[in-house]
Structure 1
Amino acid sequence: MADAAADGGGEEVAALSTGEQAYERIRQDIVFGRLQPGQRLTLDKLRPVYGVGISTLREILSRLVPEGLVVAEGQRGFQVAPCTASELAELAELRLLIESHALAQSFAAGDMEWEGRVVAAHHKLARMEERLLAGDDSGTMQWKRYDFEFHQALVSACGSKALLDLHAGIYERYLRYQMVFFIFWGPTSIGEHRALLDCALRRDADEGRRLLHGHIQGCVDVALERRLLD
């Protein structure tokens, strides 16, 4: 009986692990645009792709609704949340509000270890942006991961896990717009990241927040100028 109970427990853990893996895969597929905005999420079609059952898929998609990545359509099921100009503007405003506050806290409290994280994160991002500028877009997903790691490093000494978690959630929804529409504005973005690094090393929070405002707003402006959104 003990062995049977142990086996059952192992199967339950394995099932939970499989469900969590599917959740992360679907989430990333939405963020990185493999599942397109407005796409209907048919459970029967998703089941063989993600390797989980209908009930697990329904639970995963329900979890993604409050995250703003999936829309529930009542009896008709689920679809990927659409991308709109108004939501991008709202996410940009929220990201700026949260990241500006965390940035100031982090610049004030950051130590040498924090400086090392910021410099290392910027180095990886700068190298990837150079590749993009040269026309090599094969590392697009890696570019956005490095972009997040750099911004995360800048605020990582803010002293609040809740603030960092909130920032990560908003950033990921904002990131979806950049990935779906591949918003990269070349030398401007590269220069702004370098300037943010310099501000961090000087502990110049006022200039850092000013740069951050232009950096985030630039994504919105590029999307609107290119008429990428309604």
Structure 2
Amino acid sequence: MTDAEDSSGEGVYRRLRADVVLARLAPGQKLGLDALRQVYGTSIGTLREALNRLASEGLIAAEGQRGFTVAPVSEKDFREIADLRLLLECHALVPAFAAGDLEWEGRVVGAHHKLAVLERRLLAGEPADAALWKRYDREFHHALIETCGSAALLETCTAAYDRYLRYQMVAVLFRGTVAAEQHAALLDCALRRDAASACRVLEAHVAGCVDHVVRTGALLPFAGGRPAARPLEAAPPARLRARA
């Protein structure tokens, strides 16, 4: 991406969105326009447009004359987003599995392979970039439903997944063997075209993640809606730690 493209309206929107979803911008963090202008190298007007788009997606909170903040997190909101993700993806799995062909199988297997390799490294105690882990996770779950036949459903699933993903990135915690085994089970269900079993696995997968994040207290530092003060700048990639 060139500097010109990166400072365009669409480019700034994508960069801001990625920084919010990947928790580089912390929940509750104040987004001053002057500071953002320096970081993203664009105009105040372009920033306002991008922030308003993100506010419509529930990722940014617009506070009238007080400006913008990154949307806060809470246990209640996480559970609601998780329920929405399950509702949408389970609905998409049925037509996707029915329509999936050999080419689709290849994409699902390939997406799972990349995710499984990274999971094996994590289980061996090797460090990993959290953003790369979640990129592979996102690609695998998307591959499972990409043949559902509805562009609108896929778009809505993606939006719900990204809001769910933000909570995972705040926690930055890999659940270990159980998560890897559930991904393998989802692959097996896809190859057998067993959407009903896939939905049950997905329900356990998502519920386990939500319960683990809540139990470990990863959201507590943001419970008041404001993170500890820190400068607005590009953050280093989060590093994953495997569950003990």
| TM-score, scaled relative to structure 2 | 0.86
Q: Secondary structure at the match of 1:158?
A: coil
Amino acid at match of 1:226: T
In the alignment, the residues of structure 2 paired with residue 188 and residue 124 of structure 1 have an alpha-carbon distance, to the nearest angstrom, of: 17
Q: Secondary structure at the match of 2:45?
A: helix
Native 8 Å contact 1:121 1:146 kept in 2? yes
Correspondence for 2:51 = 61
Correspondence for 1:180 = 170
How far is 1:107 from its partner? 1.0
Instruction: Give the alignment's Cα RMSD to 1 decimal.
Output: 1.4
How far is 1:189 from its partner? 0.3
Q: Which has the higher helix share?
A: 1
How far is 1:228 from its partner? 2.2
Amino acid at match of 1:149: E
In the alignment, the residues of structure 2 paired with residue 99 and residue 57 of structure 1 have an alpha-carbon distance, to the nearest angstrom, of: 32
- Deviation track 1:83-116 (CA, whole Å, cap 9, x = no partner) reads 1111100010000000001111111111111111
Structure 1 residues 51 and 198: alpha-carbon distance in aligned structure 2, compared to 1, 3 A threshold: same
1:50-199 equivalences in 2 (<5 Å): 50-199=40-189
- Deviation track 1:114-161 (CA, whole Å, cap 9, x = no partner) reads 111110000000011112222333321111011011001111111111
1:39 aligns with 2:34: no
In the alignment, the residues of structure 1 paired with residue 201 and residue 15 of structure 2 have an alpha-carbon distance, to the nearest angstrom, of: 33
- Deviation track 1:175-224 (CA, whole Å, cap 9, x = no partner) reads 00001111320100000000010011111111111001001111110011
How far is 1:15 from its partner? 7.6
Structure 1: any 5+ residue segments left out of the alignment? 1-13
Question: Which portions of structure 1, spanning 4 or more consecutive aligned residues, are displaced by more than 4 angstroms?
Answer: 14-17
Structure 2: any 5+ residue segments left out of the alignment? 224-244
Q: Which one has more relative contact order, counting CA pairs under 8 Å at least 6 apart? A: 2
In the alignment, the residues of structure 2 paired with residue 82 and residue 206 of structure 1 have an alpha-carbon distance, to the nearest angstrom, of: 34
1:201-220 equivalences in 2 (<5 Å): 201-220=191-210
Amino acid at match of 2:143: A
Amino acid at match of 1:111: D
Native 8 Å contact 1:183 1:219 kept in 2? no
Native 8 Å contact 2:21 2:163 kept in 1? yes
Structure 1 residues 146 and 15: alpha-carbon distance in aligned structure 2, compared to 1, 3 A threshold: closer
Identity of aligned residues (%): 57
Q: Secondary structure at the match of 1:65?
A: helix
**Matched positions, count:** 217
